Structure 1
Amino acid sequence: MANTSDISKGCFLRFNNELVQVLEYEHRTPGNLRAFYQVKMRNIKTGKLVEHRFRAGEDVELVRVDVNDFSYLYDEGPSLVLMDSETYEQISVDKILFGESLKFLKEGMVIKVSFDGETPIYAEPPTSVELEVTYTEPGIRGDTATKTLKPATLETGAEIRVPLFIEIGEKIKVDTRTGDYMERVKS
């Protein structure tokens, strides 16, 4: 058994007989009161956010999770087919594990998948991806003084907002966690 001092961001815990991932944690000591850990967690199955206060030194059940790199092969109904880069073994992973970042995935991308035993429990795509703009309205020449954004469609079908100077055919870098435009990619 581990205790609260062993908790770190990104670790997995068994909390109320459910598997959760720690998103944020903070050690607090308010005035004369006893120290505690304020922990924000995401339930792996339901995706719900849970906040809980643990007493300092309280026992928690850390879950050992194996993380492997997989290449994204193709979309197959409610799941994605991924291939292990070392053994060439193919697995199916539910799309739910990817959340909003699913719309930025392109074939061949490397994805980190976490396993609890043989069951995939969490999938993490790269934090940023380079995608080509397939459609956007033309920008007005000279209108670059403001931070005005326009809609653009990417090669994966995702729609995001980009600056006015971005044109069709250009490659841009996109943050998969937020879906925000980061920068134009120089060829």
Structure 2
Amino acid sequence: MKINGNEIRPGNVVEHKGSLWLAVKTQAVKPGKGPAYAQVELKNVIDGTKLNERFRSSETVERVRLEQNDYQFLFAEGDMLTFMDTETYDQIQIARDLLEDRSAFLQDGMMVTVESYEGVPLGVALPDQVTLKVVEADPVVKGQTAASSYKPAMLENGVRVMVPPFVESGERIVVDTNEVTYVKRAE
């Protein structure tokens, strides 16, 4: 399936320069002069090499259709993560570095989508948002309320995010797993 270069999202697998590449990060760039483009960090799914590429909206790339199966996260053991197919109860193990930093957001029993190509797992799609508890938040500094100011906070999974000044330690917040950013307070 052909898609425009500016439609590439993190987690997409594209065919580029005769190989399969996983989009790790994307950034829309609008320079003052010239047309806009997408700056995409690609990772080769076979040998793990990385490549930074610019895609203009007029360029098209072939998006590879992957087999998508729903799995439940069971546990982590060393560098391996174990998932279970909820229909067949088959278990698979995937290397933690396939998820990179996002593996910190895995929670027991979490449903994920494992994408594979010819039986080889290439990626794990987490839910877009997860709810986590703030275990440490800096106190609010008076006088910083004129402009929108954020402060650092540590989550229960060890990840640091920037949160609004009203968020305190012990509160539960919703975090975007793709951008690793604060979304809102949890209900």
Q: Deviations over 1:130-171 (max 9, x none)?
A: 111122234368965542222211121212121121122211
The root-mean-square deviation of aligned C-alpha atoms, in Å, is 3.4
Residue 167 (structure 2) aligns with: 166
2:186 corresponds to: 185
Larger radius of gyration: 1
Question: What is the TM-score of this pair, normalised by structure 2?
Answer: 0.71
For 2:109 and 2:143, how far apart are their aligned partners in 1? 38
Structure-2 residue corresponding to 1:74: 75
Contact kept? 1:106, 1:156, Cα under 8 Å? no
Distance verdict in 2 for CA 1:166–1:18, change over 3 Å: same
Alpha-carbon shift at residue 73 of structure 1 (Å): 1.4
Counterparts of 1:137 and 1:13, CA distance in 2: 42
Q: Which runs of 5+ in 1 are unaligned?
A: 25-37
Change (3 A) 1:141 1:91: same
How many residues matched?
A: 168
| Residue 7 of structure 1, aligned match among 3, 10, 15 | 3
In structure 2, the residue matched to 1:28 is none
CA–CA distance in structure 1, aligned partners of residues 91 and 103 of structure 2: 19
**Inter-partner Cα distance in structure 2 for 1:126 and 1:47:** 26
* Structure 2 runs not aligned, ≥5 long: 27-37
CA gap 1:114/1:145 in 2 versus in 1, 3 angstroms: same
Match of residue 49 from structure 1: 51
CA distance 1:166–1:119, change in 2 (3 Å): same
SS at the partner of 1:7? strand
Q: How many Å separate the matches in 1 of 2:40 and 2:180?
A: 22
State TM-score, norm by structure 1.
0.71
Assess, with a 3 A threshold, how the Cα gap between structure 1 residues 140 and 64 changes in structure 2: closer, same or farther.
Answer: closer
Tell me, yes or no, if the aligned pair for 2:71 and 2:111 is still in contact at 8 Å: yes
**What are the Cα deviations for residues 84-133 of structure 1, in whole angstroms up to 9, with x where unaligned?**
12222111111122122222222222211111122101111111111111
Structure 2 residue 156 is matched with structure 1 residue 155: yes
The residue number in structure 2 matching 1:102 is 103
SS in 1 for 2:103: helix
Tell me: CA distance 1:126–1:44, structure 2 relative to 1, closer, same or farther (3 Å). Answer: farther
